[in-house]
Amino acid sequence: MNAVPDLPADIDAALLLRWLDAVTSVIEQEADHLTQLDSPIGDADHGANMRRGFRAARTALEQEPPDTPGAVLVAIGRQLISTVGGASGPLYGTLLRRAGKALGDAPAVTAAELRDGLRAGVDGLVQLGGAKLEDKTMVDALLPALDAFTAALDAGGGTEQAVTAAASAAEEGATATTPLRARKGRASYLGDRSIGHQDPGATSSALLLTTLADTVRKASSS
Amino acid sequence: MNAVPDLPADIDAALLLRWLDAVTSVIEQEADHLTQLDSPIGDADHGANMRRGFRAARTALEQEPPDTPGAVLVAIGRQLISTVGGASGPLYGTLLRRAGKALGDAPAVTAAELRDGLRAGVDGLVQLGGAKLEDKTMVDALLPALDAFTAALDAGGGTEQAVTAAASAAEEGATATTPLRARKGRASYLGDRSIGHQDPGATSSALLLTTLADTVRKASSS
Amino acid sequence: MLINVPENVVPDALRGFAAVHTDLTVDVERRVIVRRGAPYDGQVGLVSGGGSGHEPLHGGFVGRGMLTAACPGEVFTSPVPDQMVRAAAAVDSGAGVLFIVKNYTGDVLNFDMAAELAEDEGVQVAKVLVNDDVAVTDSLYTAGRRGTGATLFVEKLAGAAADEGAPLDRVAGIARRVNEASRSFGVALSACSTPAKGGPTFDLPEGELELGVGIHGEPGRERRAMMTSGEIADVSVDAVVDDLQPDAPVLLLVNGMGATPLLELYGFAAEVHRAMGARKVSVARTLVGNYVTSLDMAGASVTICQADEELLRLWDAPVSTPALRWGC
Amino acid sequence: MLINVPENVVPDALRGFAAVHTDLTVDVERRVIVRRGAPYDGQVGLVSGGGSGHEPLHGGFVGRGMLTAACPGEVFTSPVPDQMVRAAAAVDSGAGVLFIVKNYTGDVLNFDMAAELAEDEGVQVAKVLVNDDVAVTDSLYTAGRRGTGATLFVEKLAGAAADEGAPLDRVAGIARRVNEASRSFGVALSACSTPAKGGPTFDLPEGELELGVGIHGEPGRERRAMMTSGEIADVSVDAVVDDLQPDAPVLLLVNGMGATPLLELYGFAAEVHRAMGARKVSVARTLVGNYVTSLDMAGASVTICQADEELLRLWDAPVSTPALRWGC
Ligand SMILES: Nc1ncnc2c1ncn2[C@@H]1O[C@H](COP(=O)(O)OP(=O)(O)O)[C@@H](O)[C@H]1O
Ligand SMILES: Nc1ncnc2c1ncn2[C@@H]1O[C@H](COP(=O)(O)OP(=O)(O)O)[C@@H](O)[C@H]1O
Ligand SMILES: [Mg+2]
Ligand SMILES: [Mg+2]
Ligand SMILES: [Mg+2]
Ligand SMILES: [Mg+2]
């Protein structure tokens, strides 16, 4: 319904493969930080989990690069499910698989189609994990990001504006998890003691989206 | 041979029981220190061992106080053997049992007789443990103490002078273990790393003798 | 830590496990430990798994009378569905497979995915969720009670039932009954160090303890000044007995968290027995040891399971695994 | 520490041990653990003991096919002669008693005194001194090699011989042969904390380790920067293989010092196997676990025992104790 008809189909497999490459490097750099965040309110493995999953995904997709954006996301999702484990593996895996499936087999998609794909992915993640807004999970980064994405498109923005807006919203959403009391995942066992710590999963979600924004910006400036 | 014929027989069961009482308190106070000394070059139990043994001895001898100095030493030795364990239990136990036996059943003994008893005890200890001077053990406090005891008697001193001299020599002997490389007991496993630490057993030997000197001084001043 | 590189801790351990336990089939690459000779004709296969770092759970419980297969994940990270699917295929004799799942988001999600996939491949799968940890009080606003010590009871008792040839619904029924009859409470005297973090997962000053901890190096519900073994026993026994209100003799697990010396653990067991007596709960069997651990965490947990004649018989039944062995 | 008061750690643990292991006779007051039903007609009695803090050694090894009695001393302090005399009296069927003594000044002196007293009471006593620790190099200028991991081999193999009804001289002969064929080397990644001291017995900064440690919380021969599991395996295997120069397959014990997670210990076992292969030593049997411990010390030791057909048979023979159980 929000789809703007005249958007260019500027999101192709190559762009998402560049994103995968960039995100794997970012996760590599941020792994220790994510694990640190997972220490006081989790089990100190989120960074290692994400690194393992994205390393595996990059290796697999380098060997057999899919040629549609949908297939790229599905393949990354499968790799995450097969190599991450933990809560984040099935959750991110489902997000990307569902998003990829929603994109179908188009060789390139518009920002609006990507947004619809991401919405399908986040719906799948929410259905699987059962988390609501303010439960202090990755959902607190992802839902605001989707909304910002939509708002940017509604305001007439293109791919770059939309993913940039989504990235900022995700970062804000991640920061905003700090004062929350966790109600899902390991942090929930801590009760009030979970307050005052930023959620690792929301933080990694923000990384995925800021890197997407960077990748898109680089693509359009080059 | 060194015995001075006209010494008074001023060492009786009551004196040695007061010594036991005093020494138990001193060990109680010094237990942590002895255990500290036993940490870097041993197994961190010498204080606890000594405290357990002397507590048991005091309790046993309070219930059934022997009436000769020989019997007091034998009874303490037995208690140490039955309750201490470790290296120090049999060693101190043998020292006191042998010393007590050498005193026979006289109701009171002279300083020279006590010296002969202690010599018999230390001989037994050396025979059992096989340590020589400068092996960094309690022997390094006990042998100099015996010598000083004898020298004081030879110089015409009485009980007070003799035990005071023995106590000082034991303290010096204990201090002098610090630069030694251990060749007996647990500290020997450390090789050169045993250098620079004072031997816990030599330290407790010095405590036993300084407390004896205190007890004798108090007896003669009262 | 006694490791090579953090990334290889799990495969390194599996190589060692394979070299030592030659009566098990260890697929180091794919991270599946299977009882040699599986599938056993007409026997239900028992598959469990979870993050590594809780050893001997689960790999140490593979063998006659307990698990048929175990799937070790990364340290404190649930295994991935591929592992459970492979394990299910390896142990299914046609009689079906029971997945024993500790109630953590990661384990639940991964085992759920695996169950779907295994069923697609024609394996009949039942699941039991272990959630015995009474320290998680507010299960509406949390991920629910964690699975801890009761996992050992579920694996032993359901394993004995499978060994007797019970069909899948009965084996699953016993597993659920054991879980429902079990409660745990744990205490940490130190945090544990994970290879990924390279140091303690949280800061616990000397002279303080954490009450109500799980088995993943996470802090507990409450920090307190150090308590005596007897006081800790009272708190733990009260927690499990208040919640379960047993009216029959119990199986008791006095479990060390990994770095608790047996000398201390047996002393604690004495206090737990005393505290159980004070609560008029009679203890039918006791197991003491470091069984459901959290790497090098110092601390202990108490698990009880109300037993009836059948469960006692299943407990006493032969078991022959690397970590638990009797009667055969 | 999970204790009440430091003074009561040993009796508290014995109370727990008594409550849990009802198939053993535990005299808490007098500190003697005896196999129920002892003395066994015509069987040699095996008595061991030593300081507490090494659990499951020795109490956990009392039972069929291993020790007949154990005498726990205070933490890291040899037991007193009264205990061994009482144990000897309890297990002597007339076939005599073997004292298994680890070579520490305290243990040697106390067992010697006990042997004299027991013989006065008409018990025929043989003694075996266990001294397998190659880290003590200069035995002329030390108390001699310490007894560590080989104690488990001596107790198991001599215990199996006694169980077969071998006479005292043969049981003692096997015990001595096992000791002579055994070597150990240990490494600490952390110091241990004794109840008496209330904290670590020595200072070992994070990122350093001690090579050549014993099992009493004493520092080792040499401090080094942290090494990988593989490097530690190489050093340990070289130390024991260079010293023993085995020319037949060995029994291998990969032992945790108490606080070593099994996850790490199995990874270490893999490296030890690799290192043994590199030294062309073949491994006939491997046991992995925290068996001869030093309270909550992190670290590991490697023990090998060159085996012949007889020793292998005795190793495989049934054993049923709290800590070691197979074949029955
Ligand atoms: N039910 C859930 N729904 C959505 N996200 C969740 C849920 N449970 C946990 N998470 C997210 O997963 C993150 C933890 O991931 P990770 O540490 O990799 O897995 P684990 O918790 O199994 O160790 C949390 O920070 C949180 O954002
Ligand atoms: N062979 C020996 N001869 C004499 N004294 C010894 C011998 N071995 C050890 N000692 C003494 O014993 C002391 C240690 O006693 P203690 O700590 O109670 O026993 P353990 O060494 O068994 O823990 C050492 O400090 C040393 O003085
Ligand atoms: Mg985590
Ligand atoms: Mg000592
Ligand atoms: Mg995890
Ligand atoms: Mg000692």
pLDDT tens readout for residues B16-74: 999 999 999 999 999 999 999 999 999 999 999 999 999 999 999 999 999 999 999 99
D167 has a pLDDT exceeding 80: yes
d(CA D208, CA D190): 9
In a domain, C315, yes or no: no
B2 has a pLDDT exceeding 50: no
In sequence order, the 6+-apart residues with CB closer than 8 A to the CB of A93 are A77, A78, A79, A80, A81, A84
In sequence order, the 6+-apart residues with CB closer than 8 A to the CB of A62 are none
In the prediction, which pLDDT does C139 show?
Answer: 66
Q: Tell me: do C295 and C194 sit in the same domain.
A: yes
> From D195, which residue of chain C is nearest by alpha-carbon distance?
C264
The residues of A whose Cβ lies within 8 A of any Cβ of C are 35-36, 39-45, 47-49, 52, 81-91, 128-129, 181-186, 188-191, 193
- Which pLDDT band holds residue A6 (cuts at 50, 70, 90)? confident
Q: In this structure, which ligand is nearest to the CA of C105?
A: 1
CA of C110 to the centre of ligand 3 (A): 14
Kindly report the nearest CA distance between residue B10 and chain D, in angstroms. Answer: 34
Report the CATH number at residue C34. 3.40.50.10440
Last residue of a domain, one of C135, C157, C181: C181
In a domain, C314, yes or no: no
How many contacts does A have with C, using Cβ atoms within 8 A?
A: 122
If one residue of D52, D103, D105 were mutated to test the ligand 2 pocket, choosing by the most ligand atoms within 8 A of its CB, it would be D105
d(CA A171, CA A212): 13
In the prediction, which pLDDT does B6 show?
Answer: 79
- Which pLDDT band holds residue A5 (cuts at 50, 70, 90)? low
* Number of domains within chain D: 2
Residues in chain D closer than 8 A to B188 (CB atoms): 141-143
In sequence order, the 6+-apart residues with CB closer than 8 A to the CB of C301 are C148, C149, C184, C185, C186, C187, C215, C236, C253, C255, C257, C292
Mean pLDDT of all residues in D158-178: 98
Burial A65-96 (b: 16+ CB within 10 A, else e): ebebbbbbbbbbbbbbbbbbbbbbbbbbbbbb
d(CA C66, CA C327): 13
> What number of CA atoms fall less than 13 Å from residue D181's CA on the CB side?
22
In a domain, D269, yes or no: yes
Contact flag C76-A188 (C-beta cutoff 8 Å): no
Interval A59-109: pLDDT, tens: 999 999 999 999 999 999 999 999 999 999 999 999 999 999 999 999 999
D16 has a pLDDT exceeding 90: yes
What the block records as the tokens of D99 is: 């004292």
Kindly report the nearest CA distance between residue B189 and chain D, in angstroms. Answer: 6
Mean pLDDT of all residues in D37-65: 97
Q: Tell me: do D241 and D286 sit in the same domain.
A: yes
- With residue D194 as reference, give the H or E element that holds it: strand D193-194
What percent of chain D stands above pLDDT 70? 100
Nearest to C109 by CA among A124, A72, A102: A124
Q: Tell me: do C170 and C231 sit in the same domain.
A: no
What percent of chain C stands above pLDDT 70? 99
Mean pLDDT of all residues in D44-67: 98
In the prediction, which pLDDT does C75 show?
Answer: 95
Report the CATH number at residue D222. 3.30.1180.20
Average pLDDT, chain D: 96
In the prediction, which pLDDT does A2 show?
Answer: 47
d(CA B1, CA B116): 10
Mean pLDDT of all residues in C31-41: 97
Q: Tell me: do D87 and D162 sit in the same domain.
A: yes
Nearest 5°: CA angle at B146, between B141 and B150? 150
In the prediction, which pLDDT does A3 show?
Answer: 47
Are residues D82 and B106 in contact, defined by beta-carbon separation less than 8 angstroms? no
Interval A42-54: pLDDT, tens: 999 999 999 999 9
In a domain, D274, yes or no: yes
Q: Tell me: do D135 and D240 sit in the same domain.
A: no
In the prediction, which pLDDT does A1 show?
Answer: 45
- The lowest-confidence range among B145-154, C19-28, C213-222, D133-142 is D133-142
Tell me how far CA of residue B63 lies from CA of B60, B66, D30, in angstroms.
Answer: 5, 10, 20
CA C16 to chain centre: 21
C22 has a chain D CB within 8 A of its CB: no
What the block records as the tokens of C143 is: 């991920």
Contact flag C221-A191 (C-beta cutoff 8 Å): yes
Are residues D250 and D313 in contact, defined by beta-carbon separation less than 8 angstroms? no
CA of A171 to the centre of ligand 1 (A): 17
Residues in chain C closer than 8 A to A88 (CB atoms): 106
In a domain, D292, yes or no: yes
How many contacts does C have with D, using Cβ atoms within 8 A?
A: 177
Last residue of a domain, one of C181, C198, C231: C181
Contact flag D78-B184 (C-beta cutoff 8 Å): no
Question: Which chains have at least 3 CB atom pairs separated by less than 8 Å from chain A?
Answer: C
Ligand 2, residue B131: give the atom nearest the CA: 3
Mean pLDDT of all residues in D43-61: 98
Mean pLDDT of all residues in D76-99: 97
Ligand 2 within 6 A of B46 CB? yes
Nearest 5°: CA angle at B100, between B99 and B101? 95
Q: How far apart are the first and last CA of chain C?
A: 36
If one residue of C105, C142, C194 were mutated to test the ligand 1 pocket, choosing by the most ligand atoms within 8 A of its CB, it would be C105
Contact flag C197-A81 (C-beta cutoff 8 Å): no
d(CA C16, CA B91): 46
CA of C140 to the centre of ligand 3 (A): 21
B201 has a pLDDT exceeding 60: yes
A39 has a pLDDT exceeding 60: yes
Instruction: Give the helix ranges, DSSP H, for chain D.
Output: 9-20, 81-91, 105-120, 150-163, 168-180, 229-244, 262-278, 309-316
Ligand 2 within 6 A of D142 CB? no
Are residues D300 and D256 in contact, defined by beta-carbon separation less than 8 angstroms? yes
d(CA D22, CA D28): 13
Kindly report the nearest CA distance between residue C141 and chain A, in angstroms. Answer: 5
Are residues D85 and D118 in contact, defined by beta-carbon separation less than 8 angstroms? yes
Mean pLDDT of all residues in B147-161: 97
Contacts of C203-207 with CB under 8 Å at 24 or more apart are C206/D199
Nearest 5°: CA angle at C45, between C41 and C50? 160
In a domain, D318, yes or no: no
What is the phi/psi pair of residue B220, to 5°? Answer: -80, -25
Q: Tell me: do C26 and C167 sit in the same domain.
A: yes
In the prediction, which pLDDT does B5 show?
Answer: 55
Q: Which amino acid is at C74?
A: E
What is the phi/psi pair of residue C90, to 5°? Answer: -75, -25
- Which pLDDT band holds residue C206 (cuts at 50, 70, 90)? confident
d(CA C308, CA C298): 33
Are residues C197 and A44 in contact, defined by beta-carbon separation less than 8 angstroms? yes
Q: Tell me: do C95 and C169 sit in the same domain.
A: yes
What is the phi/psi pair of residue D202, to 5°? Answer: -150, 170
Last residue of a domain, one of D124, D150, D181: D181
Q: Is the peptide bond before D58 cis (omega within 30 degrees of 0)?
A: yes
Q: Tell me: do D98 and D48 sit in the same domain.
A: yes
Kindly report the nearest CA distance between residue D19 and chain B, in angstroms. Answer: 25
Which position has the token pair 């953090």?
C6
C197 has a pLDDT exceeding 90: no
Tell me how far CA of residue D224 lies from CA of D134, D188, D227, in angstroms.
Answer: 18, 11, 8
In the prediction, which pLDDT does B3 show?
Answer: 47
Q: Tell me: do D244 and D122 sit in the same domain.
A: no
Ordered domains of chain B (ranges, CATH): 11-221 (1.25.40.340)
Domain that holds residue C155: 11-181
Mean pLDDT of all residues in C74-85: 97
d(CA D220, CA D223): 7
pTM more than 0.80: yes
CB atoms within 10 A of CB B107: 11
CB atoms within 10 A of CB D165: 14
- The lowest-confidence range among A185-189, A208-212, B157-161 is A185-189
Average pLDDT, chain C: 96
In a domain, C247, yes or no: yes
Q: Tell me: do C169 and C258 sit in the same domain.
A: no
Q: In this structure, which ligand is nearest to the CA of A87?
A: 1
In a domain, D3, yes or no: no
Q: Tell me: do C295 and C205 sit in the same domain.
A: yes
Q: Tell me: do C144 and C209 sit in the same domain.
A: no
What the block records as the tokens of A170 is: 């995700």
What the block records as the tokens of C22 is: 């030659």
Which residues is B2 bridged to in the sheet?
none
D84 has a pLDDT exceeding 50: yes
Question: Residue of the nearest CA to atom 15 in ligand 1?
Answer: A88
Cβ under 8 Å to D: C residues 77-136: none
Interval C137-153: pLDDT, tens: 876 778 899 999 999 99
Beta-strand relationship, D250-256 and D283-289: parallel
What is the phi/psi pair of residue B68, to 5°? Answer: -125, 155
In the prediction, which pLDDT does D139 show?
Answer: 66
Interval A135-184: pLDDT, tens: 999 999 999 999 999 999 999 999 999 999 999 999 999 999 999 999 99
